[in-house]
Structures are given as structure tokens and as C-alpha cells.
Amino acid sequence: MKASTLRTYQTVHTWTGLLAGFALFIAFYAGALTVFHDDIAAWQNPPWRSATDADASIDAMIGQLLRKHPAARDDFGIVLPTDSSHAAYAYWVDKGETRFATASQMDAPTGEAAWNELADFVYALHDSLGLPVVGLYLMGVVSVLYGLALVSGILIHLPQLAGDLFAMRVGRNLKRLWQDAHNAIGVLSLPFHVIFAVTGALFCLFTITLAALNTIAFDGKLFDAFAKATETTPVVVASGTPATMLSIDTLIARARAQALASGVTSFEPDYLHFVHYGDRNAVAEVRGLSQHTLGTYGTVGMSAHDGSVMATHVGKRYTLNGISYAALFGLHFGSFGGRTVQWLYFILGLAGAFLFYSGNLLWIESRRKRRHLDQPRRTQVMARATIGVCIGSCLAISGAFAATWIAVRLGVDAGLPQRLACYGLFLAACAYACVRPIARATVELLWATSALTIAVAVVDLAANAADMTRAWTPLGWGVLGVDLTGIALGLVFAGFARAAARRARRGDANSVWSLQAARG
């Protein structure tokens, strides 16, 4: 490769990595936690403190919904509980607005559920940085930059790939050690990073891409064609003749039997969609999760009146469009292989966050003055931004866990407290990194993150110990796992804090990470 070509790829890799790195750090750290979405949900509402209407009849809830909102019978959905600590809830459209409510909330003045699930909030941070609409498109652009950084990085290291892949040169040259770690993690996890980049761009930019193609190439016909190609609910016209609907249990049983006959080994329904409920032509669509297959989610469409199967999109009866989308979803979230794949994706998520953090450190080290105590402003700005955004986001997510824990025990809605704690701590960490000497801010923010993360986990363990042992259920493993993982992450942050403090005292004085630079 020519030297000029190599320099071009290095420039592309550096600047795409820097432009996308901060958003990707948050997305990967939150994404690593999102892998255990159901466990975090159970941690917020453990089975021994179940929702009051967790066992409420879904048929009765549908009756409540249609008595209070008759227009909803034309199209509404029921999200089934994933475990015994959560309640089913309905959603429907009322005057152009999507409404949500559990059985107990149906009779409330607003009739609408409050979004207070910590697991959903962490997912929103991964998906869109917690910024509705704008954040989703921003992460789509970031995913494209991420792909460019991956391609340019591989081209840079391809000539000496075999020789440098496992070369972890530990010594006084910290830049070389960071470089080796950055290269090794990036190359070893490359297939997964390609998956994340491609699927992330597709998920986030899909609507914009579809709209552009609809205008440029398909003469305004793409949306209708796409809807028909991907529709899983059979399209019917209401007959106008009232009819009795089958019970939810009967519909689920028939859908499960149909799915198992289609080649999957499991089918756990999590969502029902009804059209023209109460009419002889009413349709019930049951969506379910199947393990150990890339087509993790499948659907069975039936007559809600007599249970006859109208459409099946499960296992070997998947359409090409359906299996393609389901495979993309399963590959992105690691939902196809049980606990083993979940832990693998969790480790890959944390490794990905380290990849972008170490990339910033390498940029700083490459541009600092080796023989001068005063460092260029650009390295100081990047160092402050790195510790403020990266360490601050970890502190902020731990703060969201703490706020949720407190709100639940005070009996108040956790949605607002978890957001105030998360965004407040993030902004505070960024401000702290701007006004405090860099070396001290790094160590102090790492210790704060470690202390808060461990404290939340230990306090939750202590508070739940008696209930956990007295009312143990299989879900208890998820709650315990979240706490133990929190303690482990806290100890990792503590290790980073000690390493940063040691480098500040004993490392190269001509560095933004040195206490001597702070005193200077």
C-alpha cells in the first residue's frame, strides 16, 4: 500500500472514529446492559413485589378497554407480561395519539400507563441516546461513520495483521500498549462490529431511506408495496355481524401448536394484535419468541371467532422478508441463543465501549508534546471531553438505577426521577471535567462511578435478601445477576481509578494525565 494511501485511510479512520466515538461509547455501554433487558425489568419489579394487576385476566382487561374506548375494537394490541412481576397492558390509538394502560390504569382519570421501566430507558439510551426521533436519526448517521471507521481500520492494519494481532507489548510505553489492545479488540470482534454497524444503520435510517427511494426510484409506490410485502396481519373487511370471540388462552394455545408444527422448538407469545374485535371476521395475530433460531419472533394470524389459521410466519413458513428482518434483529440484540449468547454480547458491548475510549486516548497520546509540561489545547479539550462523556455516561446510568430504586420504594413513578438523575449526573460530570484538573477529575469520576454502582447493587441485595430467600423463584436469578454484575462493574471502575491515580503520580510528567501537569 502506498504511503499516501495509508495516510488517507488513517485520516478517515481517525476522524470517523472521533466524530462517532462519543455516541458509540454510550450506545455500546447501554447496549451491553440492554442485552439483559428482561432481567433489569425484573430487578425493578422483582417477583416478590409484583404489580397488583399482574394476574388480572386479559379477557377482562379487553372488556374494560372496549367499554371505555369502543372505537379501539377496530385495532388494538395487548402486550403480554414477560414474567410474573409485570402486568399485561393494552395499547390503542385515540384521536391520533397512541395510548397505553394496564387493567388497573384503565379506570384512572387519564387511562394511560406511565412509562417508568428502567430497562426501556436504558434501551432508549442505546437506541437514540434518549433523544426521541432526532436521536434515532443521529445514531443512524453515527452507524454509517462507524462502518467507515471499521473498513479504514482494517485496511490500515491488514499488512501487519498477523504479526500484531496478539502482540500485547507491556512496558513503559503506554501508548503502544493501548494501541495493541485497541487493535486486538477491534480485529477479534470485527464480525460483530460489522453486524452492529450494518443493522444499526438499517434500523435507524430505514424510514428516511424508504422515503428517499419512494421519491427517487419508485414513483411514490414504494410505501404501499412495502406494506403489502411485510404485512403479517391478514387483511379483512368487517362483516357487521357480531360474534363471540375465543378466549385469550385458547388463541395462544392454537397459535403455539401451529408454530411448533412449523419447525420451531419453542414459541412463547408476548404480544396479541386484534382487528375488528367482536365481529365475525375479527382477526387475532399472536406474536411469539422462539429460541435458538435467527428468526426469533414469529406470528400466527387466526380468526378470533373460530380459531382457524389464516397466516403463519414462523420457522419454515417464514417469508423471505420476515426472516430477513427477524435475523437482523436477532443478530443485533443477541436474542437467538439464550444465556450463552447474552453474556457473549454483554462482553462484546463492553469491549466495544473500550474500543472507542481507547481510540480517544490514542489520539491524545499521538498529539501531545513529549518534552513540554504544557500540552496543546486540543489534547486538553479532547481529554476533558473523553472523561466527561465516557465516564460521565457510566456514572449517569448508575444514577438512573439508583433513582429508580428509590422511587419504587417511595411508591412514586420512576420515569421522571430516573431521567433527572441520568441527565443531571451526565451534565454534572461533563461540567466537572471542564473545571477540575484533568488527572484529578479522571480519578474522582471513576471512584464516584465505582462507589455509586457498587452501592446500588449492595443496598438492593441487602433490602431483598429476606424476600429473595423466602419467596425464591427462577426470576430471582435475574435479580441476583443484576446485582452481582453491578458489583463486578463497580470493581472494574475501581481498578481503573487506581490505575489512573498511579499513572497520575508516577507516569510521564509531560502528559495531560499527570498530576504535575495539573499543578503546572
Q: What is the predicted pLDDT for the residue at 12?
A: 81
- Please report, for the chain, the start and end positions of each structural domain, with discontinuous segments joined by +: 3-45+131-199+337-519, 231-333
CB-count burial class (<10 Å; 0-12, 13-18, 19+) for 122: buried
Give the distance between the most distant pair of CA atoms in the chain.
87
Nearest to 119 by CA among 158, 71, 82, 93: 82
Of 89, 86, 102, 80, the closest CA to residue 54 belongs to 86
Q: What is this structure's pTM?
A: 0.86
Strand (E) positions, 304-408?
A: 309-313
What is residue 214's predicted lDDT score, i.e. its pLDDT? Answer: 84
CB 326 within 8 A of CB 297: yes
Axis crossing angle, helix 475-506 with helix 392-410, rounded to the nearest 10 = 140
Angle between helices 338-367 and 3-34 (to 10 degrees): 140
Torsion on CA atoms 330, 41, 124, 203, rounded to nearest 10: 10
Angle at 59 between CA 53 and CA 63, to 5 degrees: 95
CB 382 within 8 A of CB 64: no
Q: Give the pLDDT confidence of 107-140 residue by residue, as tens digits.
A: 654 444 555 789 999 999 999 999 988 999 999 9
Residue 330: CB atoms within 10 Å: 20
Helix (H) or strand (E) holding 199: helix 190-216
Q: Do the Cβ atoms of 514 and 507 come closer than 8 Å?
A: yes
| Cell (9 digits) for 376 | 496543546
Predicted local confidence at residue 520, as pLDDT: 45
Alpha-carbon distance 435 to 292, whole Å? 50
- The 3-class secondary structure across 145-198, one letter per residue, is HHHHHHHHHHHHHCCCHHHHCCCCCCCCCHHHHHHHHHHHHHHHCHHHHHHHHH
- What is the structure's pLDDT at 386? 94
C-alpha cell at 50: 409484583
The residue whose grid cell reads 477491534 is 186
pLDDT at 111: 46
Using CB atoms within 10 A of its CB, is residue 486 exposed (0-12), middle (13-18) or buried (19+)? buried
Q: What are phi and psi of 130, to 5 degrees?
A: 80, 10
Residue stretches of the chain with pLDDT short of 70 = 1, 50-56, 84-85, 104-115, 157-178, 367-375, 471, 516-520
Which amino acid appears at position 228 of this protein? K
Phi/psi at 159 (5° precision): -60, -40
* The pLDDT value given to residue 444: 97
CA 137 to CA 101: how far, in whole Å? 29
Place of cell 413485589: 49
Report the SS3 class of residue 139: helix
CA distance 71 to 79: 19
Amino acid at 514: S
Three-class SS string for 207-266? HHHHHHHHHHCCCCCHHHHHHHHHCCCCCCCCCCCECCCCCHHHHHHHHHHHHHCCCCCC
Place of cell 394476574: 55
